[in-house]
Amino acid sequence: MPQPGESWQAQGKPACVPHEYFRNGTAKILTLFHPADGQVRLTGTLSCTNAVLHGWLQQELSAIVQALPLPVAPLSTEEERSHWERWQADLTEKPTLLADPPPLRLLLVLDNLAGHKTPEFVCWLFAHGIMPLYTPLGGSWLNMAESIQRILKRRALNGQHPTDPEQIMAWFEAVAAHWNQAPTPFESYLVP
């Protein structure tokens, strides 16, 4: 009889992990998740330096911003600045806004990695109308990209025995493509 838990196993017959495990490298999974529609963008990489991460984020975020509808009516510089400042109101660390900010197009929730706060990257985000918001220290559970990664990891790797990082990355990317065919929105987490 199956028992509830991490996986379904017959009582007294726990799932076994093969003893032939060899660490043959590390796969990093870069992830962007849009909770309102459930769409996920991810790619695998063998290293995650700022150059790799920022290059991928800039490419993906540029495509996302280009696909957004244009603002209906242009706002004055003061109105644009007030939109940006509203999102900075309760932040403990407030990055300096541009003197003439572009239209605010996107809010991007990131964890507190130092690489997410480099002046070059933050200035790039601002120039493209993207406001970075950082999860609090010790609040990784607020980062929904990590939630979707856990779901996709179970679907890609449970019961599998990958032999190298390239295989792990390919499986993750295949599962993400399948997920995006019928994504599940995370609506209960959205602020009204």
Asked whether residue 57 is assigned to any structural domain, the reply reads yes
Asked whether residue 144 is assigned to any structural domain, the reply reads yes
Asked whether residue 16 is assigned to any structural domain, the reply reads no
The answer to whether the beta carbons of residues 44 and 164 sit under 8 Å apart is no
What is the average pLDDT value for the chain, to the nearest integer? 84
Phi, psi of 100 (to 5 degrees): -125, 80
Q: Indicate which CATH number applies to the domain containing 102.
A: 3.30.420.10
Asked whether residue 4 is assigned to any structural domain, the reply reads no
Bigger pLDDT: 96 or 38? 38
Distance CA 96, CA 118 (A): 13
The answer to whether the beta carbons of residues 174 and 157 sit under 8 Å apart is no
- The 10s digit of each residue's pLDDT in 101-136 is 889 999 998 888 888 889 999 999 999 999 998 887
Query: What pLDDT is stored for residue 136 in this prediction?
Result: 78
Whole-prediction pTM value? 0.80
pLDDT confidence band for 141 (50 / 70 / 90): low
Exposure b/e, 134-144, CB count within 10 A at least 16 = b: bbeeeeeeebb
- The 10s digit of each residue's pLDDT in 58-76 is 999 999 999 998 878 888 8
Q: Which domain holds residue 103?
A: 22-65+93-182
User: Tell me, what amino acid is at 50?
Assistant: N
pLDDT confidence band for 191 (50 / 70 / 90): low
Asked whether residue 165 is assigned to any structural domain, the reply reads yes
- The 10s digit of each residue's pLDDT in 160-177 is 888 889 999 999 999 999
Exposure b/e, 77-99, CB count within 10 A at least 16 = b: eeebbeebeeeeeeeeeebeeee
